[in-house]
Amino acid sequence: MSFSEILNCPLCASPLEREGKSLVCNGGAKRHTYDVAKEGYVNLLPPGKGKNAHTGDDAAMVRARIEFLSTGAYEKLSDEVARLIHGCVPFGDVTVIDSGCGEGYHTCRFTSALSGFGRRVRTAAFDASKHAAAAGAKRAVREALAAREGVGAPFDGDAQAAFMAGNIFSLPVADSCADAVVSMFAPIAWDENRRVLKDGGILVVAASGEDHLLEMRQFIYDEVIKKAPEVVPADGFEEVCRSSVRYTHSLASSAEIMNLFGMTPFCYKTPREAVERLSALEKLTVTVHTDYFVFRCKK
Ligand SMILES: C[S@@+](CC[C@H](N)C(=O)[O-])C[C@H]1O[C@@H](n2cnc3c(N)ncnc32)[C@H](O)[C@@H]1O
């Protein structure tokens, strides 16, 4: 299950092959080359379009997410993704695309869990943020989901998770190659997901539930509107099932509180006065609430 079987050149859509420290396409006269960065990811954001493309989360947000997720507070969220994929994809090898993977915490956890269920698994993870893809690639090596030795080795045949900078609305992967696409708290690229999924493949969407971080929202905003996520499937998808994960989690330090705050969209839109009040807290118990939607792709 090598990654070169599924990765395509973002410029000419020809298959990419590993050649030493690079992935190279065989697109006729002009061969396009993508070097594996020292962290182990490949930048497959098309050059030229890069300037205007969404550049993803910045380094500060990625750092906040790495710090917070390392506490284990969100483990159950990726466990549920693994459970849903295992339950909805017939037993056997499984190719997963993580669409908007962030820094790869959930990617690595659900990939390991699927492997623990006895599956041969290959997860291709994409994020517009190079910081996120780099962090994900390093995590995959740390967690033995990709080879440790040699630049380029993360794309070797035995690797279970590979990280790419890429645009999820124009994925550099082959048509109908994936058994599952995962979209955790990221934009949903319906048309592109339909293109890359096999007939009968599934899209797993995780979205913040109406009570997610309610206590933090109540602390920083005068008025909190509770709204359950609605995910309406596009043509070619039908809902298979939904589930929820819900529990309370105690944040035990100001650093934990601010790291969690720093990885949410609230950090962009909260008045300075409320941020200062929040940063003075030493503990806060929050509700973690995620809703999951599973859609099957019909071609
Ligand atoms: C809220 S984060 C979630 C990350 C990860 N799935 C998680 O749950 O930890 C959303 C991610 O989507 C990425 N993203 C947004 N638009 C994108 C696009 N067009 N192409 C690729 N990634 C995108 C962002 O860079 C960010 O890392």
* pLDDT tens, position by position, 9-21: 999 999 998 888 8
Q: What is the CA(107)–ligand 1 centre distance, in A?
A: 12
Amino acid found at 33: T
127 lines ligand 1 (CB under 6 A): yes
Place of tokens 């909260």: 270
Q: Which residue has the tokens 């509700």?
A: 287
Alpha-helical segments (H) within 89-145: 105-116, 130-142
**Which of 33-37, 46-50, 119-123 bottoms out in mean pLDDT, i.e. has the lowest?**
46-50
CA distances in angstroms from 144 to 36, 115, 120, 159, listed in the order given: 18, 12, 14, 8
Query: Average pLDDT, stretch 56-81?
Result: 87
The atom number, within ligand 1, closest to the CA of 183 reads 6
User: Count of CB atoms within 10 A of residue 260's CB?
Assistant: 26
Tokens of 100: 């908007």
pTM: 0.94
Grade residue 52 by pLDDT with cuts at 50, 70 and 90: very low
* Average pLDDT estimate for 221-239: 95
Q: Is the CB of 101 under 6 A from ligand 1?
A: yes
Cβ atoms 265, 218 nearer than 8 A: no
Mean pLDDT along residues 221-247: 96
**What separation in Å is there between the alpha carbon of 186 and the centre of ligand 1?**
5
- At 54 the pLDDT is 54
The four Cα atoms 142, 143, 144, 148 give a dihedral, to 10 degrees, of -10
Residue keyed to tokens 């906040």 = 64
Residues in the chain: 299
pLDDT score of 30: 83
Q: How confident is the model at residue 51 (pLDDT cuts 50, 70, 90)?
A: very low
| Nearest residue (CA) to ligand 1, atom 1 | 185
Alpha-carbon distance of 86 to 115, in angstroms, equals 10
Pairwise CA distance, residues 163 & 16, whole Å: 14
Average pLDDT, the chain: 91
Question: From CA 102, how far away is CA 65, in angstroms rounded?
Answer: 9
Ligand 1: nearest atom to the Cα of 189:
19
**Residue-wise pLDDT tens digits, 179-206:** 999 999 999 999 999 999 999 999 999 9
Tens-digit pLDDT profile for residues 124-169: 999 998 989 999 999 998 988 886 655 555 676 678 999 999 999 9
CB 245 within 8 A of CB 289: yes
What one-character DSSP code corresponds to residue 10? Answer: T
DSSP 154: G
User: Is there an atom of ligand 1 within 6 Å of 54 CB?
Assistant: yes
* Structural domains in the chain plus CATH codes: 41-297 (3.40.50.150)
Q: Evaluate: CB of 202 within 6 angstroms of ligand 1.
A: no
Residue 129 beta carbon below 6 angstroms from any ligand 1 atom? yes
